Amino acid sequence: MFSLMANCCSLMKRWKEPARSVTLLMVGLDNAGKTATDVAPTVGFSKMDLKQGKFEVTIFDLGGGKRIRGIWKNYYAESYGVVFVVDSSDIQRIQETKDTMAEVLRHPRIAGKPVLVLANKQDRDGALAEADIIEHLSLEKLVNENKCLCQIEPCSAVIGYGKKMDKSIKNGLNWLLNNIARDYEGISERVEKDTAEQKAQEELEKRERGERVRRAREESLSNPFQPIADVITEV
C-alpha cells in the first residue's frame, strides 16, 4: 500500500510540473535542407514555437550562408541544445561542414550541450551513409573533445511535414529533449549565467560605441574641416 501511494504521489507531482521552456538552435550550411524540417524558409533568421510533451520549445533557425554565420554566436548563450543539419549528398562541401561544426561545438557557450546531427537528404543518389558522415566529420573525436552528448539521425526532411515528418527527425528531437531533461536545472543555470554575461557585454560595447561617437562629435566641433565619419574611424 505504501509503495502504491508513493507511486501515485510521484505521478501527481510530475503531472503538476509546469511546462519546461527550452530554446534550441538549428544551424548548418546553406542548402543543407534546414527549411524543409517544418520551419519557414529563412534568409538569415526564423523562429518556430512548438509543444513537445512537457516542453515548450522555441527553435531558432539561423541562416547558413557564410556572411550570416557570424550571427550564430549571438544565440549560443540562450540555447539548451543544438540541431546541426548536414547535407548528406553534398560531398564537395563536407570539409566546410566539418570545419563549421567544429567551430560551433568548440565555442565555450555550446561545448558540453547536447547536439543532434540530422544527416539530411538521404533520399538522394550518392548520399553518404551514417558511418561515412561520422568518419568525414570526425564526429566521435569532436564530441568527445567538447564533452557534447551527440546523436546522429539519417533523414529525408522532404518526406513530410508536421505530423507526417520523417520519423528520424521526431526521434532525434525526442532524444535531444530527453537529454536536456536529465540536466534541465544545470543547463538552465548555465543559460541564465551565459545570457546575463552576454547582455552585460553587449551593454558595455553599446556604451563604448556611444562614448566614441560623443568624442568624435566633440573633435568634429573643434575641427570643422574634418568630416565626422573620418573622426569616428580614427577613434
Residue 39 confidence (pLDDT): 41
Q: Does the annotation place 230 within a ligand binding site?
A: no
Q: Does the annotation place 23 within a ligand binding site?
A: no
- Decide which of 194 and 34 is more confident: 194
Q: Is 159 helix (H, G, I), strand (E, B) or coil?
A: helix
**Whole-angstrom distance, CA of residue 126 vs CA of residue 131:** 14
Please classify residue 66 by burial: count the beta carbons closer than 10 Å to its beta carbon, then call 0-12 exposed, 13-18 middle and 19+ buried.
exposed
The pTM (predicted TM-score) of the whole model is 0.78
Return the H-helix or E-strand segment holding 102. helix 94-106
Of the candidates 218, 160, 171, which has an alpha carbon nearest to the alpha carbon of residue 36?
A: 160
Q: Does the annotation place 122 within a ligand binding site?
A: yes
Q: Does the annotation place 31 within a ligand binding site?
A: yes
Q: Does the annotation place 66 within a ligand binding site?
A: no
Interval 208-216 mean pLDDT:
81
Q: Does the annotation place 42 within a ligand binding site?
A: yes
**What are the residue boundaries of the structural domains of the chain, listed by start?**
19-182, 192-234
The percentage of residues in the chain with a pLDDT greater than 70, rounded to a whole number, is 78
**Whole-angstrom distance, CA of residue 219 vs CA of residue 213:** 10
pLDDT at 97 over 70: yes
Q: Does the annotation place 64 within a ligand binding site?
A: yes
pLDDT tens, position by position, 124-179 = 999 999 999 999 999 999 999 999 999 999 998 754 455 556 789 989 999 999 99
pLDDT tens, position by position, 10-51 = 433 444 567 899 999 999 998 776 655 544 444 467 888 988
* CATH T-level topology, domain 19-182: Rossmann fold (3.40.50)
**Whole-angstrom distance, CA of residue 48 vs CA of residue 160:** 17
* Chain centroid to CA 156: 20
